[in-house]
Structure 1
Amino acid sequence: MTDDSENQRQSGRVAMRCELEFRKHGGSRYPVDIFDISPEGARISPPVRVEAGQQVWLKVPGMDAIHGRIAWMRDWQAGVEFDNPFHPAVFQLIVERLRGPSAS
């Protein structure tokens, strides 16, 4: 997949800087930095090499793991496309959890 996939988002992203739990298919769990998120995906800095199309999971505290696939990879940043886009209300809850209680 080309970097053009970065520009084909369906909705706007919310910029943030926080850490989630990350796991790729068949791999261990690692902390991962997240830079932005939308109902359809997120931009992360994976701690291990990933490839386009690879299955991954992101864990938001207090929620089930989010399953997706790597849509693009450039240097040490990657785009994750979620398997199931979030409803706006669920997405808002995810953003609030990632920002933490002090941002409310």
Structure 2
Amino acid sequence: MSSEDLEKYETEMELALYREYRDVVGLFSYVVETERRFYLANGVDVAVRGEGSEVFFEVTMTDAWVWDIYRPARFAKNVRVITFKDVNVEELAKADLEVPKGHF
């Protein structure tokens, strides 16, 4: 496999991953960004652990989707991440327009 073929394959995988993200993002409540990965999740808990300058973060997520092109199964029921850098958690805005139930 040439480097051009490999680059084309990775580009196609990234595009497929973006399309999957676009299709599933509405199913989740939070976006979580760590130093290594990007996640979508419906439940997030961040706990600061350690003492003094030896601080780390323990991030626990439920019903998560992992942004990783090399991971064959991106959905996970429970995820636990330990990181030594900051964690960014954002709540996703739900659509401003929702059709009321029973009113079609």
Fold shared per TM-score above 0.5? no
Larger Rg over CA atoms: 2
What is the TM-score of this pair, normalised by structure 1?
0.31
**Larger relative helix fraction:** 2
